[in-house]
Amino acid sequence: MRLGVNVDHVATVRQARLGKVPDPVRLAQEAQRAGCDGIVCHLREDRRHIQTGDLSRFKRGLGIPLNLEMAAVPEIVRIACRIRPAQATLVPERRRELTTEGGLNLKRGNRRLLEAVRRLTRAGIRVSLFIDPAPAAVLAAAALGAPMVELHTGGYAEARTASDRKRHLERLRTAADLAGRLNLAVAAGHGLDTGNVGPVVRIAPVEELNIGFSIVARALTVGMRQAVLEMRRAIRKGKGRS
Ligand code: PXP
């Protein structure tokens, strides 16, 4: 299971004073040294955390793949094609949301999304689509021609009762199985932490987890290295290997 560490919220703290520290690139390098497989960051249109200039620094400063989360808008697509991260994850963006609240709207004929998938793919970037764990969304993602989907685990992570959690897990399983049968690579993420990651790890088609907030929050107490090691341990334990 690959682990991508999202360092957006290191930049959130930096932007609180519009300064240079804490530096998301330096913290990403620490996460890399602790053994994560990739670094994730989201260049939002409102630039509330990651800045355009951070992207080339990530590319230069990392020896592991960069996964750029982004909206399918021309300005950001242009930047992505210039920077050429290994992967781009297309996400919906709403100006007033605290974080990415749902999966992409994959209504047929979404020309903007189709155009973004094509342009990014032509630039040699592997495209993943962040979708709700629903069969219709998986089918629509496959029709758009992206080789990968990331299933939104927010509903599962926020479930308040055991039965609700079970229902969300079942949705994730069904969507992951369908994506696997359609030969899509499958990632999952949003709201995952060391306490809830186990059942997601056991969904066989899921090969990558992208986790940000819980790791960065834990890193404030124990440091990035330890926070990544703890997540790695929880993932191993989830797989039944401790
Ligand atoms: N995957 C995607 C597509 C996201 O948008 C986010 C949030 O930026 C994450 C994973 C990570 O979510 P969290 O910060 O809740 O771990």
Q: What are the tens digits of pLDDT across the range 32-91?
A: 999 999 999 999 999 999 999 999 999 999 999 999 999 999 999 999 999 999 999 999
Pocket of ligand 1 (CB under 6 A): 6, 8, 42, 69, 89, 91, 99-100, 130, 150, 189-192, 210-214
Query: Which residue among 104, 210, 214, 216 is best mutated to probe the pocket of ligand 1, counting the most ligand atoms within 8 A of its Cβ?
Result: 210
Closest by CA position to 56, among listed 40, 36, 79, 30: 79
- Residue among 69, 93, 208, 230 flagged as catalytic: 69
Domain count within the chain:
1
Closest ligand 1 atom, residue 42 Cα:
8
Q: Is position 150 annotated as part of the catalytic site? A: no
- Range of 139's domain? 2-238
Whichever domain contains 37, its CATH number is 3.20.20.70
Residue 152 appears among annotated catalytic residues: no
Whole-number percent of the chain with pLDDT over 70: 97
pLDDT confidence of 109, banded at 50, 70, 90?
A: low
The string of pLDDT tens digits covering residues 173-197 is 999 999 999 999 999 999 999 999 9
